[in-house]
Chain A
Amino acid sequence: MTNDTHIPAPVSDDVKTLSAELAEPLAAELGLSPKEYEGVVATQGRLPSLTELYVYSLMWSEHCSYKHSKKQLRAFSSTGKHVLQGPGENAGVISVGDGWAVAFKMESHNHPSAIEPFQGAATGVGGIVRDIFTMGARPVAILDSLRFGTLDKPRQRYLFDGSVAGIGAYGNCLGVPTVGGEVYFDAAYEGNCLINAMAIGLMREEELTRAVGSGPGNHVVLIGSSTGRDGIGGASVLASQEFDEAAEDKRPAVQVGDPFEEKLLIEVCLELLKAGKLVALGDLGAAGLTSSASEMASRGGVGIDIDVRKIPQREDGMQPFEIMVSESQERMLAVVAPEDLDEVARRCARWGVACSPIGRITDTGRFVVRDSDLPAGLDIVADMPAEMLASSAPEYDPAMSRPSWLDELHEHPLDFVYATAAGGNSGGDDGGVGDGGVDDATDGAGAPFNAALRALLTSPNICSRAWIWRQYDHQVQNNTVVLPGADAAVLRIGDTGRGEVGTRGIAASTDCNGRYCYLDPWTGAQIALAEGMRNLACVGAEPAAITDCLNFGNPEKPEVFYCFSQAVEGLASACRHFGIPVISGNVSFYNESFGNAIYPTPTVGIVGIIEDIAKVATSSFKQAGDTIILVGETLDELGGSEYLCVTHGLVAGRPPSLDLKLEGDVQAAVREAVRAGLLESAHDCSEGGLAIALAECCVQGGIGAAVVLDDGLPQVSSLFAESQSRIVVSVADAGVEPFIDLLVAHAVPYSVIGETGGDRLVVEGALNMPLERMRALYEDTLEDLVTRR
């Protein structure tokens, strides 16, 4: 690559192709179906070479090609007033005002984390952060949506503890705050934990960069770590053990992350982009160089010609195909104009980052891979049409059938719940819980649901997550306005380094109740969006766009695919209703073990805009004497509730219903009130229902409450039903009238349910528990569960 003007033409005839006898079985081992293999031969117009076969198998794998989900995903709308970049790039980008733009995306790293939780989760964070700064944005926040089996199992504790440590280790070292997320524990995730990492980046609108290769003659430059055999097959293709019997120890499935290298990459890449020294930038994620190089070429309608021997290698004797499919972490691919190459090398050296020109952009439209160790003229090991490789992957229409379990679950009788719940009538006892009524005396009398409240406060799905986020640096960059543990994370935006800080902010949240999706994938997916939006409304943010991470079982099973299809349609229709674009996302299939699929888990990551960060609300009660108002309406809906699961060990019924119109009105009213400064606190009612929402407001604020519920429902439903579109707010005297006017104007149902104050949560005739007791139960549970022997 010394002659700047010479652009090598493809010499397809010289590629050493495999014989059909070798190629066919290898294709099968690499996960290509016979039909897909035929497609490879047809696309190439001849038999493939070894390297080509590997490249195709990766590019046409589910992970890279979305061949099972593509059709469904077209239901998502990705346009909207804020959208600067929709799906198809490394991350989506929205405009958030004042010339600022935000890039964000969520991605799964489930399979690696199930094998090695620390490195799996850490490299999950590393990958999603690269997707963000690739776009030209400085990473400013990480959120994580996690699912594990129940913590009574030692392996689940190991996975949970290790994943949290890995996320912390990577994000903390990068200096990107981990500001939010969620975690659920359910036996459905025992064989397949879910690690969904979301990253958010900030830039000026004009700094938006795309991974579009252009300018034949330009250099293709690899920046960052050297390339080893780590992670080969991580993108799910190399399921075979036989292709190289001795190779097992050479191919660790899980990559090891180097957050220090990534921190340097962030700095040097952003510096190079700002200086205008890069024509294009992409990261090497799943399928490594294969995917990033071919996508960069196909997006730009150009060709790319690289020499694997110019790539710094960590190990001796790596074959071209190994180099092409390696998933070694912390590597970036850049396109650099010849006149800028020296400057790029100089700046990389200053940061101590390796920078290797490995090839050129060409005008041939071909993706050519060379091995310069081979004699000239025989050095081409792969020569493929870049555009076809990236975009002509097969597309499937998997069979679907409605799972029989849905009807069974929906029709499961729940009447017994009311009977047993009403059975208890003194402190510390109610049906089904029976934790001995340890604190009959302290809890106070006339509190038949105290035991249920205790059970819920100590449910791993509800209790405080402080044990997790204390391990994450959630404040670095000094823009975290609302700390983790709130309904949504809130970040100040602006160029703090230059002392330019405005009033503008963004809010973010991740949400999905997998249990609801299991009971009804359509409604469950809609609720995931509704709850995310509601969380934003609680802090006063206007939702702008979402990213999604669709975690499902094996799509080739008709029942699984039915659930997938329902969830996508449900989510897409709710997005359309609210005018929320889906700007990025990821599908993770095959989350199954021993034939059991996880709950359908379409996780939604949402970002919203806040005009004035001085006017956000948080969930904690602020002072005694405020009026507590329940915005929205409780229905008699215990199906799929945490109460049902905790007190009766039952996952059944229908999930709560969702009225999109009401949801929008509730959010609009509360958001407007937060922005007008009318509310002292706002908190979404979700798992555990109104009782838990109230308990959380009390515990977080250190202030009690006296509440009367007269909604005409059975008490157990008033307290624990998980009806949607509800927000608990507290309002100071002066705000009550204007707030109620606002609710009336939005035609939103509401009830004034009580007043803040005292050192207990009292719900007349139902609950009576000291704050200190609730705090201890709520705060200490998670650590106790993780560290118990």
Chain B
Amino acid sequence: MGTQGCRFGVVVFPGSNCEQDVISALRHLGLEASYVWHQDTDLSGYDALVLPGGFSYGDYLRCGAVARFSPVMEEVVRFAGAGRPVIGICNGFQVLTEARLLPGALIRNRRLKFICAPVPLRVEKSVCTWLDLPEGTVLTLPINHNEGNYTCDDHTLAELVEGGQVVLRYCLPDGTRPPGGCAPNGSLDDIAGICNAAGNVFGLMPHPERAVDGISGCTDGAGFFSAVVASAREVVGR
């Protein structure tokens, strides 16, 4: 697939620490990518945005709470509002919820411990434009977080489920989910990733960029970035 016309911007907040991993994964996939400084306010050069993982502003007040007020975020909100693709990975997901681009919030892991481990994930049927994989596909991706425990009120959960906004759920290696749930962090309804109603804004706790070049023994993350190229071009073409 050609990549011309789809330029990824990777937003760097003070304290981001996965921006280089994302850039290197995108370039490994042959995609064009460059950094966007948190004080930049011109996103006209980009077709898709990545909010990477890390500890923006040290995660000191709440994860993502301070980054959400960075100058770039106003433009990110506008970018997302125009239907352009935005993905938030880990801390980026937290920033997206703080910015209310995605509903709910991410609180401390149930057992109060940071978790770094590969986990099985089930692709759900969703409206998400970032992922073009059949429902029920089981992927393995690493998670690395202390606050990945997704929560929201019942009404929001019902909306997410009905609107096809639940994109990824934690599952057992065979793709099933036990009745009591199996999210290692205690996430509501085993939710690992959600999108907005339009499907262009996607937040997830797992790190697809760490499973692209195969160093971890897994390449399941590759599909997360390639799939959006087509849809990004579509938006641009409109």
Contact = CB atoms under 8 A, between A and B. Distances in A.
B27 interface: yes
Interface string B154-195: 000000000000000000000000000000000000000000
B24 A497 contact: yes
A746 B37 CA distance: 56
Interface stretch (A68-76, A473-481, A755-763): A473-481
B58 A260 contact: yes
Nearest to A496: B24
Contact of A478 (B55, B60, B113, B215): B215
A502 interface: no
A476 B58 contact: no
B213 A478 contact: yes
A480 B215 contact: yes
Interface in B10-35: 14-15, 17-18, 20-21, 23-25, 27-28
B173 to A, nearest CB: 13
Nearest to B22: A478
A229 interface: no
Contact of B15 (A260, A474, A481, A483): A260
Contacts of B69: none
A474 to B, nearest CB: 6
A161 to B, nearest CB: 9
Interface stretch (B79-87, B100-108, B114-122, B229-237): B114-122
Contact of A474 (B58, B116, B215): B116
Interface stretch (A100-108, A167-175, A307-315): A167-175
Contacts of A351: 14
Nearest to B144: A473
Given A259-B55, A263-B55, A478-B213, A473 B114 contact: yes
Range for the number of chain B residues in contact with chain A: 20 to 34
Interface string A539-563: 0000000000000000000000000
Contacts of B144: 172, 473, 475-476
A470 B115 CA distance: 5
Contacts of B114: 165, 168-169, 172, 470-473
Contacts of B53: 476
Contact of A475 (B15, B54, B55, B210): B210
Contacts of B57: 260
Contacts of B216: 475, 478, 480, 483
Contacts of B220: none
A473 B117 CA distance: 9
Given A264-B14, A475-B142, A475-B210, A496 B21 contact: yes
A649 interface: no
A477 B15 contact: no
B98 interface: no
A477 B22 CA distance: 9
Nearest to A467: B113
Contacts of B59: 173, 260
A99 interface: no
A258 B117 CA distance: 25
Contacts of A184: none
A492 interface: yes
Contact of B24 (A470, A475, A478): A478
Given A173-B55, A471-B116, A475-B116, A264 B20 contact: no
A478 B21 contact: yes
B210 A175 contact: no
Given A475-B144, A497-B23, A260 B60 contact: yes
Given A260-B58, A478-B215, A497 B20 contact: yes
B209 interface: yes
B28 A173 contact: no
B215 A175 contact: no
A352 interface: yes
Interface string B202-238: 0000010110010110000000000000000000000
Given A263-B55, A479-B215, A471 B113 contact: yes
Interface string A620-652: 000000000000000000000000000000000
Given A471-B115, A473-B116, A175 B18 contact: yes
A499 B58 contact: no
Most central of A259, A470, A472, A492 by chain B CB within 10 Å: A470
A657 B103 CA distance: 63
Contacts of B213: 478, 501
B21 A258 contact: no
A259 B17 contact: no
Point out which of A172, A173, A263, A475 has the most chain B C-beta atoms below 10 A from its C-beta.
A475
26 contacts: A165-B113, A172-B144, A173-B55, A174-B17, A260-B15, A260-B59, A263-B55, A263-B58, A470-B114, A470-B116, A472-B114, A475-B116, A475-B207, A475-B210, A475-B216, A476-B18, A476-B21, A478-B213, A478-B215, A480-B216, A481-B215, A483-B216, A492-B215, A496-B24, A499-B24, A499-B27
Given A476-B18, A478-B216, 6 more contacts: A263-B58, A264-B15, A474-B116, A478-B21, A478-B215, A496-B20
Q: Nearest 9 CB-CB pairs, A to B? A: A175-B17, A260-B58, A499-B27, A496-B24, A497-B20, A173-B55, A478-B21, A473-B144, A471-B114
